[in-house]
Chain A
Amino acid sequence: MRTSLRGARDAIFWTLCAGALLLVVAPALAIIGSLLQQAWPVLTLHLLTTTTAVDGLQNALLGTLVLCVGILVLAGPIGIAAGVYLAEFGPPARSSWLRLGSETLAGIPSIVVGYVAYLVLDEELHWGYSLLAGILALSAIVLPYIVKTTEVALRQVPTTLREGAAALGLPRHTTLRRVLLPPAIPGIASGLVVALAISVGETAPLLYTVGFSDNNPTPYLFQHPLGYLTYVVFLNATLPTRQEHQVAAAAGVMIVLILIVLIAAGRLIARRAARHAARMAN
């Protein structure tokens, strides 16, 4: 009797757990499903050839890509430099403070970053709606992720390699470039992938910094607003007509597609890194 009671409790518990797993899978499917269902009638090449001034998404897609490039150019090098310092150069006491600063930065709500960027860059420095202001705001949000992944990637490189390099009398910068960075590159790349995934999905820090434009991106960093995909989802979802909802959903589908590409890239990089680590261990 007692045994069957225990068995029943076991079964009930694991059924609940399976239900919980379903509750994780279902919303993801439901969201993507509803986006696809809404967007289906407008998912044509027309989206890519016309701008939001008509009913396309060309400017928004290009704008999002421009922001991504900006992140890679600005946040990438700074974040990697910080990660390298924390893993290889920093004295423990100083590193732990700087690390805490970086991790705490990740905890600042994105709207606060957007608000400060808007007040300081767009208003006080008179940049107007500006691409650079948006890139700076996004960089502040993604930097901690790049720092963290770079540091973790370098820490996973076996110490024996450092010792070997030191035994050969290599200067530190050569050790870093020739010995430590190559095996860490997959980890660093996956950090950049995460940074891109965040940038593609953010809205709050961009609303007031880059504004929005129905025209294609311009080469100007200042005084020119920029279109991007998340804004279209936000604005069109609040507009009344079905056509506008469809374009919103189409923008959502594009973001999810970019996301899937990024996730796939992340997995590929991780697999390569695992192979590399296995080779290293032998």
Chain B
Amino acid sequence: MRARQRGSAAVRAAAAGWPGRRRRLADADLSRADRILRTVLLVGTAVPALVLLFITAEMVLSALPALIYAGGDFFTHQLFTFGNLYATGQSVAHGVRAPLGASYGAAPFIIGTIASSAVALVIAVPVSVGAVLALVELVPRPVQPALSVFLELLAGIPSVAYGFWGVLYFGPAMAQHLYPVLTRLGVVLPFMRGPVGAGEGLLTTGFILAVMIIPIIASTTRELVRTVPALAREGALALGMTRYETLRAVTLPYIRSGILAASILGWARAIGETMAVLMISGDLLNTLPANIYSPFSSIAATIVDLLDSALTDPTGMAVHALAAIGVVLLVISLASNLVGRLLIRRVALGALPVGRGI
């Protein structure tokens, strides 16, 4: 008898259609086992959110002492040094003590991070969109999955393998063949002037980062292109438009904001990329890049690079300083992810990849 009642209520609830209402009605009918299951599942669901809060809180707390010590200089100064870790005296600023001569100016890292990922974005967006259009429009349907494998491969190849390739093959080749040619653009764009260096620097890193984020932008764009109503496109073609004009008039306007969202997500991935940047950037500290070929260092690469030596600081301030630049990275990442996700949600595509193109 009881079971039948439960069933009928659930049916009534299901008939109501709208999920929220259905759930609230069905709630009363959950058996004891169901409630236990729901609680266990809720605990699991809370894990990612709690981990997110924990990591953010831990970073901010860990960063505070160094941020107080550096004050406004943190964003403007170029000198990032842990100071003399063996000196007897200490530097004191804003009531916080650090090793003698310690200075936590993060400007070169912040600029290097943003510049390299901006270069990556400038290259990756047109290439991704163009490649997807070619894949969908030009490649015969049976061959498409075979070519899509390359997107999955690019997404899956580890960043250290990108670094290996970039530092041993790609960088030197570019510095030898392509960059000398690019310096001719220096007439119009001053930052393109030489010297071109040995191939470890902003532009090489930008290229590699571009390849790494292409899968994200491309796989999202591929899903978007498939959502374009066929009728509208066929109508445009029937009016005598060329395929290019159809694209401009119908397809692109339809998917534009989705591409923007995917680009923001790709950018967020590029600024957080660590190992490839560490291997290819040339790892130049305390100096702003002189041109687009010059070595630099990013926030993520610096954290990996300096954490070892930061641990030897007896005041512990060096570790806080790395957390401070980490917080900058975290804030930029989270902000751009949030914006990208809200945009994607507006385009209403539930099944899009969460952040990497796989």
A28 touches B150 (CB 8 A): yes
Cβ-defined contact, B307 with A115, below 8 A: yes
B274 at the interface (CB under 8 A from A): yes
Give Cα A268–Cα B5 distance, bound, in whole angstroms. Answer: 43
Q: Does B121 contact A (CB under 8 A)?
A: no
B151: chain A residues within 8 A (beta carbon): 24
Check B154 against A115 for contact (C-beta < 8 Å). no
A225-264, CB < 8 A from B: 230-231, 233-234, 237-238, 245, 248-249, 252, 255-256, 259-260, 262-263
Contact B52 A91 (CB under 8 A): no
Q: Does B348 contact A (CB under 8 A)?
A: no
B11 touching A167 by the CB < 8 A rule? yes
Contacts A119-B319, A203-B158, A249-B164 hold; do A10 and B242 have CB atoms under 8 A apart?
A: yes
Q: Does A112 contact B330, Cβ atoms closer than 8 Å?
A: yes
Task: Tell me whether B134 and A168 are in contact (CB under 8 A).
Answer: no
* Shortest Cβ gap from B22 to chain A (Å): 9
Q: For the complex, what is the distance from the CA of A18 to the CA of B136, rounded to whole Å?
A: 11
Cβ B274 vs Cβ A24 within 8 A: no
Contact (A203, B159) CB under 8 Å given A109-B330, A171-B31: yes
Complex CA distance for A205 and B131, rounded to whole angstroms: 32
Which residues from chain B contact A262 at a C-beta distance below 8 Å? 156
Of all chain B residues, the one with the shortest Cβ separation from A256 is: B157
Q: Which one of B34, B62, B274 lies within 8 Å of A109 (CB-CB)? A: B274
Q: B307 contacts which chain A residues (CB < 8 A)?
A: 115, 118, 208
Q: Given A82-B47, A143-B48, A245-B168, does the pair A201, B158 have CB atoms closer than 8 Å?
A: yes
Confirm or deny: A214 has a beta carbon within 8 angstroms of a beta carbon on chain B: no
- A176 contacts across to B, CB distance below 8 A: 37
Interface pair A30/B354, CB less than 8 Å apart: no
Complex: A100 Cα to B53 Cα, angstroms? 12
Give the distance in Å from the alpha carbon of A77 to the alpha carbon of B135 in the complex.
37
Are A85 and B52 interface neighbours, CB within 8 A? no
A27 to B150, CA, bound (A): 9
**Contact among B11, B127, B157, B333 with A163 in the assembled complex (CB-CB below 8 Å):** B11
Which B residues touch A269, using CB under 8 A? none
Whether B300 and A204, one on each chain, are in contact in the complex, defined by CB atoms closer than 8 angstroms, is: yes
- A6→B245 CA distance, assembly (Å): 9
**B274-A171 in contact (CB<8A):** no
Chain B residues, Cβ within 8 Å of A201: 156-161
Chain B hits for A16, CB < 8 A? 130
Residues of A within 8 A of B319 (CB): 119
Given A18-B134, A248-B164, the answer on whether A23 and B127 have CB atoms closer than 8 Å is yes
Bound complex: CA A97 to CA B341 (Å): 13
Whether the pair A110, B58 counts as a contact (CB closer than 8 A) is no
Does B48 contact A144, Cβ atoms closer than 8 Å?
yes
**Alpha-carbon distance A155/B350, docked complex (angstroms):** 10
Q: A107-B355, A144-B48 are in contact. Are A259 and B133 (CB under 8 A)?
A: no
Picked from A115, A152, A166, the residue with its CB within 8 Å of the CB of B7 is A166
Distance between A258 CB and nearest chain B CB, rounded to angstroms: 9
- SS of A interface (majority): helix
Interface centre among A27, A89, A155, A260, by most B CB within 10 Å? A27
Q: Hey, what's the 0/1 contact readout for A74-92 against B, CB within 8 Å counting as 1?
A: 0001111110111001111
| B64 adjacent to chain A (CB < 8 Å) | no
Residues of B contacting A113 in the complex (Cβ-Cβ under 8 angstroms): 55
**B residues 109-157 with Cβ under 8 Å of A?**
126-131, 133-135, 137-139, 145, 147, 149-154, 156-157
Within 8 Å of chain A (Cβ to Cβ): is B87? no
Chain B residues, Cβ within 8 Å of A204: 159, 274-275, 300, 304
- Bound: A151/B354 CA distance, A: 12
Instruction: Give, as a whole number of angstroms, the nearest-CB distance from B120 to chain A.
Output: 13
**In the complex, which residues 76-107 of chain B have their Cβ closer than 8 Å to any Cβ of chain A?**
none
Q: List 14 A-B contacts (CB under 8 A).
A: A9-B244, A17-B138, A91-B23, A98-B45, A98-B46, A108-B334, A109-B329, A116-B54, A116-B58, A159-B14, A169-B3, A201-B160, A203-B275, A255-B161
Binding site for A on B (CB under 8 A): 3-4, 6-7, 10-11, 13-14, 19-20, 23-24, 26, 30-31, 33-34, 37-38, 40-55, 58-59, 62, 126-131, 133-135, 137-139, 145, 147, 149-154, 156-165, 167-170, 211, 214, 218, 242-245, 247, 265, 268, 271-275, 279, 300, 303-304, 307, 319, 322-323, 326, 329-330, 333-334, 336-338, 341, 350-351, 354-356, 358
Known: A28-B150, A112-B330. 10 other contacts (CB 8 A): A10-B243, A82-B47, A85-B42, A102-B49, A172-B34, A173-B34, A203-B159, A203-B274, A204-B275, A204-B304
Those 7 A-B pairs whose CB atoms lie nearest each other, nearest first: A109-B272, A101-B49, A20-B130, A81-B44, A107-B337, A169-B7, A201-B158
